[in-house]
Amino acid sequence: MASLGELERAVMDLLWAGQEAATANTLRDLLAQSTRPQDGSAGHEGKDLAVTTVLTVLSRLERKGLVERERGTRPHRYQAVSSRADHTAELMHEVLGSAPDREAVLARFIGSVTDNEAETLRKLLGRS
Amino acid sequence: MASLGELERAVMDLLWAGQEAATANTLRDLLAQSTRPQDGSAGHEGKDLAVTTVLTVLSRLERKGLVERERGTRPHRYQAVSSRADHTAELMHEVLGSAPDREAVLARFIGSVTDNEAETLRKLLGRS
DNA sequence: GAGCAACTTCTACGTCACGTAGAAGTATGA
DNA sequence: TCATACTTCTACGTGACGTAGAAGTTGCTC
């Protein structure tokens, strides 16, 4: 699985954000509005895209297994297959698995984790 | 930073494996031999590449900051900027940082870690 | 039940990353 | 100084991705 393009990522973000399945048009509108207010993270600034563009992206995401569509309803409804957290965790495992010396990688990884994250990890790992 | 192509990855693997800085020709030869004996992992089977091909790849890797070259010596010598473990750990952090809900991601991540890895992590996190 | 409006599918083009390498330039030992 | 080895420059094919028009399908409405 490769890294998503910018638009693909933006669409996934929207799908992950909304709990409801969305239609292509809804997404198109959301993309148009999103001046990315709160987190000012760079990226697309309220792109005004053609619906077909959004559809194409959705199809590609579907082909990659990231998105699922309800074909029954007429305006097809799209939604992310897995949550953003799941997807991201999976990616992390993929990256981790790409190196033969996993332990070494984990050591480096833990080495540069914030205190809060370290605490979170300790809790998650529990004892045993 | 994006994911490397197949050849780029193969070259990085060689650079990470050897502790010495290598020349383009050395790498070319190694790539030609490498039938990937032990770990049979798919990929290139002893590709017989032109040296210029290797050089191009090395230049691109250099541009990406993954490889460093000694320009002093005549047959330039190349080596990885950081160890594979460092690089991989960095990538993991990058992935982790790509999601807003890091804690959730970590939870999922830990959830699907092997027992051994969990043990390693506990040790690494130590007490405190 | 015919037509319009909305939606989807098909096809396509430009760009960029990457695999691949030839041609030309440069240094270095004999 | 000349051949040899190495590097740089330039380039082409392919595939992913952003982008969207044209054509097809469906469903509501009069």
Interface ipTM: 0.83
CB within 8 Å of A43: residues ≥ 6 apart: A6, A10, A36
Task: List the domain boundaries for chain A.
Answer: 6-80, 84-126
Question: Taking a contact as any Cβ pair under 8 Å apart, which residues of chain A between 4 and 63 contact chain B?
Answer: 39
pLDDT at A29 over 80: yes
In tens digits, chain B (128 residues) has pLDDT values of 668 999 999 999 999 998 889 999 999 999 998 765 444 444 446 778 999 999 999 999 999 999 999 988 878 999 999 999 999 999 999 999 999 999 999 999 999 999 999 999 999 997 54
Give the CA A111 to C1' D14 distance in Å. Answer: 40
pTM: 0.85
Residue A77 three-state SS: strand
pLDDT at A74 over 90: no
Residue-level pLDDT at A73: 82
B6-80: in CATH 1.10.10.10: yes
Residue-level pLDDT at A108: 94
Pairing, β A77-80 against β A67-70: antiparallel
- The single-letter code of the amino acid at B106 is L
Give the CA A86 to C1' D25 distance in Å. Answer: 36
